[in-house]
Amino acid sequence: MQPKQVKIRVTPGARTERIVVHPDSLNQDMLCVYVTARAQNDKANQAVIEALSKYWSIPQSYIRIKHGLRGRDKMILVHQV
């Protein structure tokens, strides 16, 4: 099976960790992931993977960042179970 691609927007340094679904301009849903980790030394990216893993109840190894390692807008690959 092909991995599913999900568009997300990350807010590092948030007060609380949460995931919110917002409608996108192209009639697709965009996940907004708020993490408390700072965007230093890849800590925020790792926190995003951990948060999405909990949100979807899947192992962290099933989630990869395809695009946007250094930006807020990211494309996530989710491997199907």
pLDDT at residue 81 is higher than 90: no
Q: Which amino acid is at 25?
A: S
31: containing domain: 4-78
SS3 state at 64:
strand
Q: What is the pTM of this model?
A: 0.88
SS3 state at 60:
helix
Q: Which amino acid is at 9?
A: R
Q: Which amino acid is at 13?
A: G
H-assigned helices in 4-72 = 43-56
* CATH number of the domain enclosing 64: 3.30.1200.10
Domain count across the chain: 1
CB contact at 8 A, 30 and 21? yes
pLDDT digits (tens, 9 = 90+) for 12-62: 999 999 999 877 666 567 889 999 999 999 999 999 999 999 999 999 999
37 DSSP assignment: S
Furthest-apart CA pair in the chain: how many Å? 37
